[in-house]
Amino acid sequence: MQLSHSPHEDGIWGVAWGRGGRLVTGSVDNAVKIWNTDGGLEPVHTFHGHELGVISVATDLTGRYAVSSSLDSRIKIWNMDDKTHVKTIEGEPVEVWTVACDPHGPHVATGTHAGNVHVYNSESGERVQVLETKGKFIMSLAYSQQGNYLASGAENGAIHVFDTTTGRLVSTLSGHAMSVRSLSFSPDGRFLVSASDDKRVHMYDVHHGSQIAALAGHASWVLSVAWSPAGGSTSNVGAGAVDHIASGSSDKRVKVWDIRAKQCLHTLDHHQDQVWGVAYNEAGTRLATVADDKSLRVFSCQ
Amino acid sequence: MLPVPTNHDAPIDVLTAIEALVERMIRDAARGIPPSTAGAGHASPALTFRPLDQHEHNKSLAVFLRVADLVHANLAAPTPRVMTKRDVYYQDPALFGTQRVSDAAIELLASTLGVPRDALGVVAAPRGQAHGPCLARFTASMGSETSVVSFANGSHVPPGRRVTRLELDPAHVVAATGMRPAFAPGPAAPRAIPVAIALALRVPRFILIVEKDASFTALAHRGFAARHAGLLITASGFPDLATRQFLADLARVGAHSQHVPVYVVADADPHGLHIALTYMTGRRVDGSRCVVEVGDVNVGKVVHVAVHLRDVELERTVRMTRADRVRAVTLVRALHGMGLGEMQARQFRTSLQAMLHMNAKAEIQALDVDQLERYLETRLGLV
């Protein structure tokens, strides 16, 4: 089953789920939009304020707040219940990219062109931590659901994993030699999947720092990846549960994979342009995808 | 007879002014007073040369006087001619050392007298080149000499002359070699003048400004202009004043009076888009997002037709640098002040933000010459 809408006036670069079936999208048209997905796909509200295109959106653990980052180097926090703007964090010019929310604290992290991760307190707007990779432009970030790990992917393929409590570098994951555009942890935080311009999706064992799989199939850059919260946990191998991941690519396709069997299960052809965002809802029952074709699509997963 | 300075705004007679200035400086020097440029004009702060010592050779004073001498000699000649800055340098390379030295002295003389450099009869050699089956009629900036230049074999833009007429030269038009597969259709561009009309009216089908030397040369060698009865121009990147003047004149006699469409091809990167914007709007963005006019040499209606990042295979793109990213953001923010139409502004906005998000850019050469030809043939509606 599929719902679709072409709400924004320009490409859509970011999508994230909120609480209670709410969706957030961020577009090149500078707007952040909120949607309801219970019984159809309905626009609820539009937040204006960014001066340039919205690079990414994220939601906090409560699902009440949406966070957006923009080419205008600002991070904005929005209250989706009250439909108000809560805060604007001013980043350094060109040093704000994708944004991620700490599941276990009032923190918002963003990657920088200089190769650092800047962590801000979302209540005070102050920068509280700088994690250095001494590497290149950080294009992607992901927190593990447990909140203990923060992973960053860079434009030269390097992936760094930090311990959020100590700020120390835990692992450096190699394998990609081209931009890592998106990262997603497994629900138990043990594994990480990455999407890269080398057309591959990689899977890594975080603790051991080793690469476990390289999935081929996309014909062009892989721009987004998400690990489904549903399915078996890794301690249930053999219990018959399947772990799904979804990926979106410049080849305009969305692929759904069985990550254990390392096989592509479905290829979805609905988008007309590069697919920048894929996101599963909390239960893993729905998959939202967004693309440069200005459309948002929601699929139900069985 | 004393020739009239070209800049009719300058009320002074350049020759007399130079004579007065030099005379005063030499008189001062003879009295032991440090010669200075003060009092001759009001356009620049006075420059005082070091006091002359009978044992010392003051080079900068010698350079200044030599330049004044060369300019004066030329202007006072029965038929003064336009000199390029290089010409001036080569009159006395032993004294000047480098061209920068003579260039600086020329500028100093001009600003001291309060006249544009052109009034001294010195012009920069335009970097621009043109190629195509066209004839252009020029008049000299100084005097009334006219000349006709054929661009059939390619030629530098002649210095110190103004275009008054542009004509297609059918003798050098080669038959097009037939239909070729079209390239990705992109944003609609006004079509070039149809072949039959171009031949009948003896106008070129189009004027195409190519940002890069290498691509201009490649297209010229393949006879692109000859086959499609158009004119290629390059200014090697950001156009210098003399080339912009040539283009503005060309647009006036070609585009405006004869409706020849003017297009620009640039790299699909922030710098290339900036150049395209400069041609299109007559304005440039400086580092701090401030939009400045580039003078009264607006080329008028120019269509940015290529290269668009989305038309280039991803494998042929390269990553943006930090400087690219800063430049792209600066440009996006300055777009609204460039005087573009809404749709054009949107297209540039989308292009620049796409580059930023994809972190990718491409040069014109990311398309091989065959692809570039087909791309242009499709966009310009040439076949």
Which of A27, A95, A113, A139 to substitute to test the interface with B, most B CBs within 10 Å? Answer: A113
Across the interface, do A28 and B350 touch by the CB < 8 Å criterion? yes
B321 touches chain A (CB under 8 A): no
SS3 A243: coil
Instruction: Identify residues of A whose CB sits under 8 angstroms from chain B CBs.
Output: 10-11, 13, 28, 51-53, 55, 71-73, 93-94, 113, 137, 139, 155, 179, 197, 220-221, 250, 276
Among the partner-chain residues A13, A155, A220, the one whose CB lies closest to the CB of B359 is A155
Q: Which pLDDT value is given to residue A296? A: 93
Closest chain B CA to residue A138: B359
Across the interface, do B359 and A71 touch by the CB < 8 Å criterion? no
Across the interface, do B359 and A139 touch by the CB < 8 Å criterion? yes
**Residue predicted with more confidence, B291 or A130:** A130
Q: Is the pLDDT of residue A30 over 90?
A: yes
Q: Which pLDDT value is given to residue A173? A: 96
Closest chain A CA to residue B347: A10
Which of B309, B312, B324, B359 to substitute to test the interface with A, most A CBs within 10 Å? Answer: B359
Cβ-Cβ contacts under 8 Å, B350 against chain A: 10, 28
Cβ-Cβ contacts under 8 Å, A113 against chain B: 322, 325
Q: What are phi and psi of B45, to 5 degrees?
A: -60, 145
CA–CA distance from B131 to each of A222, B66, B244 (Å)?
A: 43, 38, 16
**Residue predicted with more confidence, A237 or B99:** B99
The residue ranges of chain B whose pLDDT is under 70 are: 1-12, 38-48, 50-57, 143, 176-188, 255-256, 288-290, 292-300
- Establish whether the linkage from the previous residue to A170 is cis, with ω within 30° of 0: no
SS3 B86: helix
Q: Which pLDDT value is given to residue B10? A: 40
Q: Which pLDDT value is given to residue B50? A: 65
CATH architecture of A2-230+243-300: 7 Propeller (2.130)
Domain(s) of CATH 1.10.10: residues in chain B: 11-123
ipTM: 0.92
| pLDDT (mean) for A192-219 | 96
Across the interface, do B329 and A71 touch by the CB < 8 Å criterion? yes
**In B282-368, which ranges are continuous DSSP H helix?**
322-334, 342-358
Q: Give how far B359 is from chain A: nearest CA, Å.
A: 9
Across the interface, do B329 and A52 touch by the CB < 8 Å criterion? yes
| pLDDT (mean) for A112-123 | 94
Across the interface, do A13 and B357 touch by the CB < 8 Å criterion? yes
Asked whether B25 and B117 are in contact (CB, 8 A), the reply is: no
Asked whether A53 and A28 are in contact (CB, 8 A), the reply is: yes
Task: Please identify every residue of B annotated as catalytic.
Answer: 90
Closest chain A CA to residue B359: A155
Q: Is the pLDDT of residue A237 over 70?
A: no
* CATH no., domain B11-123: 1.10.10
Across the interface, do A94 and B333 touch by the CB < 8 Å criterion? no
B356 touches chain A (CB under 8 A): yes
Which of B288, B313, B358, B361 to substitute to test the interface with A, most A CBs within 10 Å? Answer: B358
In A112-262, beta strands by DSSP E: 116-121, 127-132, 138-143, 149-154, 159-163, 169-173, 180-185, 191-196, 201-205, 210-215, 222-227, 244-249, 254-258
Q: Give how far B333 is from chain A: nearest CA, Å.
A: 8
pLDDT in tens, A131-183: 999 999 999 999 999 999 999 999 999 999 999 999 999 999 999 999 999 99
- Class at the top of the CATH hierarchy for domain B180-379: alpha beta
Asked whether B111 and B105 are in contact (CB, 8 A), the reply is: no
Among the partner-chain residues A13, A71, A221, the one whose CB lies closest to the CB of B314 is A221
Q: Which pLDDT value is given to residue B83? A: 85
Mean pLDDT over each residue of chain A, to the nearest integer? 92
Distance (Å, rounded) from C-alpha A184 to C-alpha A95? 22
Q: Give how far B148 is from chain A: nearest CA, Å.
A: 50
pLDDT-derived band of residue A233, with 50, 70 and 90 as boundaries?
A: very low
Across the interface, do B322 and A139 touch by the CB < 8 Å criterion? no
Cβ-Cβ contacts under 8 Å, B336 against chain A: none
Distance (Å, rounded) from C-alpha B230 to C-alpha B198? 9
Cβ-Cβ contacts under 8 Å, B333 against chain A: 51-52
Asked whether A264 and A257 are in contact (CB, 8 A), the reply is: yes
User: Domain limits of chain A?
Assistant: 2-230+243-300
Q: Is the pLDDT of residue A196 over 60?
A: yes
Q: How many CB atoms lie within 10 A of CB A197?
A: 26
Cβ-Cβ contacts under 8 Å, B323 against chain A: none
| pLDDT (mean) for A209-236 | 86
Q: Which pLDDT value is given to residue B147? A: 85
